[in-house]
A and B are shown apart, each in its own frame.
Chain A
Amino acid sequence: MRLKTFPQGGIHPDDNKISAHKPIEKLPVPKTISIPISQHIGAPAKPVVQINDQVKTGQLIAKSGGFISANIHSSVSGTIKKLDKVMDVSGYKRDCIVIEVEGDEWNEDIDLSPEIKQDCTLSCDEIKKKIMDAGIVGMGGATFPSHVKLTIPDGKKAEYLLVNGAECEPYLTSDHRLMLEKPEEIIVGIKILMKALNVEKAIVGIESNKMDAIQLLSEKAQEEKAITIQALKLQYPQGGEKQLIKALVNREAPPPPGLPIDVGCVVFNVGTVFAVYEAVQKNKPLVERIVAITGKTLMNPSNFLVRLGTPISTLIEKAGGMPQDRGKIISGGPLMGKAIADTSIPVTKGTSGIVLMPDNESLRKECLTCIRCAKCVSVCPQGLEPYLLMLLGQKQLFSKAEEENVLNCIECGCCSFACPSNRPLLDHIRYAKTTVMNLIRTRKR
């Protein structure tokens, strides 16, 4: 199969997929869980339970707080202990619903049988409603509410459903294992989404380091004429929404406020597609997800099926315990993930993986002078000039930074990765982005 890719920029870090061969294991439910009420982009959800309420697994505990928001369901059965502020991955304490676990009783209408339900007779709107009710958000890490993505704005039409199976970040293997173990469910999920979007073509993009997944899905999708499985060249950030669209259908989504729908594409992560299958065919809301826990210093890098709200310390324990050389613990992949400050942080809808990186791998080196080698320019997938944006940020020339399209930056980290002088390019660019966005907001007032 010919490998497709995006032509501009990109880097080739070691892919370190050390947990790729480990089948998904169910992680036992912990004793208490803390479910943040904001696990998605948009307004936080509003709790609909009180302290001492009894809840079942899959029961609604917080309702969507606006148009761009999502429902939150209990991932365990037990008693609501308190509504507290708990540290989450953002580094700030956020409101969480803390539940004391008792047994594992699921809501009655959820179908827990393992049979694959192929047919879906629901209408387009009914599908969207089910997805909204189930609280499905983008599970690749962006956590954008899926029912909002399925609502096509007036004047725009969706032509392609693109499924993101690239998993381009080093170390992460949760999507890979999902594709190997639940391929048929994913195909059904794709068909459901195609119906909801009213599109006739779907393409699944998978990087070439997952040939087994490519072959398996190609086999299962043989009968489906509308679904194509496309192998992609191993290059970061292949799984970035814009780069994926360019690679699969050769179209360039416009910079913000533009969206992929402007070029007729809607992109969903393969984990989200699976969650859609479970929601629509099995009435199962989003209460658990696959998290890869991995790292060179871990005893047993694994892939766990984790109930949302489980503290990360539980995963680390099960994977062999915290290693001596602590270094950094990353929620997500090493290139775009967030370093967390302590391990009590709960797993949320967007936690695709936890990577333990020792100091010798992740600690920053001394920042030296810019030698104008232009490696940052050649690796930037958005065609920006990171060395210039960093300089403008440092000199506080934010209007010039806006002219140099700093807002187009997708924060992929290729520039900081490639810089031979160890310059913290992304730190300054991100600060420039925040400042420019504030400037624009003040301008509009």
Chain B
Amino acid sequence: MTVTSLYAILTLTLVGLCAAIILFLVAKKFHIYEDPKIDEVEEALPAANCGGCGYPGCRHFAEACVKSEDLLGLYCPVGGNACMAEVAKILGKEAVEKSPMVAVVRCSGSPEYRPVTNVYDGVPTCVIAHNLYSGDTGCPYGCFGLGDCVAVCKFDAIYIDEKTKLPVVIEEKCTACGACVIACPRNIIELRKIGPKSRRIFVSCVNKDKGAVARKACAVACIGCGLCLKECPFDAITIENNLAYIDFEKCRLCRKCPPVCPTNAIHEVNLPPKPAPKPETKTEEKNKGSESNAA
């Protein structure tokens, strides 16, 4: 080893040592105190940084949890109840329990039911198409199928079906973060309770036109006829602006409304198909009412 290389090694070592000492001193002097609990809570979170909690990232949510008096209004939809229970344990606060939610697409207007009336040649995103006109079908409320919801989902939980040109939510992956709800310019996607055994019933339409107009544009549109409202024993259905809506807090999945809907606009998810009705005699007709309460 020559003297030059010795000098080089010594100089670099010295420089490195000085840099290390300076960094150490600075780190100590300018250290910002952060409640260690924030780190602990952040560990318990799913680290998706999706914004579904309403905060810009998991760390901010952790901070909010630590800083607030209680956990009311603070909920991580991705982590769910299990995660919030852990956070509560770490902080010694009471956990908030919410029923798990899932994104629901409230439009069934595939080209089979909702005829295409023109060809859209513009920028293929929903917000820009919506900014331009009512759409390439007769329904000014319906889904464009251009996939803004798909683009914004961080969990790969939604995709556009090739045949129906409508979004399909993959229940297992959906974390109910709400990104697709905000992305849709027509408020077609809604967060609803997953329901017992993942069963739920909803009106798959957001068309507010008068019945005849809606029906002309789409064969499975809600025409606001009110038959479902009359049928519901739990007051779960309201009709506003020619559109029926099922309140998921009140719905008991009794399954009385779907069969009476004249356009099949009410959808059941994960419910077994109803058994075919037995051939009826005149006496059995009178007893029909009590039978369908079974489910």
Contact = CB atoms under 8 A, between A and B. Distances in A.
Contact of B131 (A85, A364, A431): A431
Interface stretch (B84-92, B120-128, B235-243): B120-128
| Residue of B117, B133, B135, B213 with most partner-chain A CB within 10 A | B133
A223 to B, nearest CB: 49
A97 B171 CA distance: 48
Interface stretch (A19-27, A60-68, A422-430): A422-430
Interface stretch (A86-94, A262-270, A308-316): A86-94
Contact of A92 (B122, B128, B134): B134
Contacts of B276: none
B133 A427 contact: no
Interface residues of A, number: 17
A200 interface: no
B131 A434 contact: yes
B122 A91 contact: no
Interface residues of B, number: 16
Interface in A346-402: 363-364, 367
A85 B117 contact: no
Contact of B133 (A341, A364, A430): A341
A427 B128 contact: yes
A328 B123 CA distance: 16
A341 B117 contact: yes
A126 interface: no
A431 B126 CA distance: 11
Contact of A91 (B128, B134, B213): B134
Interface string B136-150: 100010000000000
A191 to B, nearest CB: 41
A363 B119 CA distance: 11
Contact of B118 (A342, A424, A427, A431): A342
A342 B122 contact: no
B12 interface: no
Contacts of A92: 133-134, 140
A156 to B, nearest CB: 33
B121 A363 contact: yes
A312 B117 CA distance: 17
Contact of B127 (A91, A93, A328, A431): A431
A428 B117 contact: no
Contact of A341 (B118, B123, B128): B118
A431 B213 contact: no
A364 B128 contact: no
Contacts of A364: 121-122
Interface string A33-53: 000000000000000000000
Listed from nearest, the 5 A-B pairs whose CB atoms lie closest are A91-B133, A341-B118, A427-B123, A91-B134, A424-B123
Interface of A: 85, 90-93, 328, 341-342, 363-364, 367, 424, 427-428, 430-431, 434
16 contacts: A85-B209, A85-B213, A91-B134, A92-B140, A93-B134, A93-B209, A341-B117, A341-B118, A342-B117, A363-B121, A424-B123, A427-B122, A427-B123, A430-B131, A431-B127, A431-B131
Given A91-B134, A92-B134, A428-B123, 9 more contacts: A90-B133, A91-B140, A342-B117, A342-B118, A424-B123, A427-B123, A428-B128, A431-B131, A434-B131
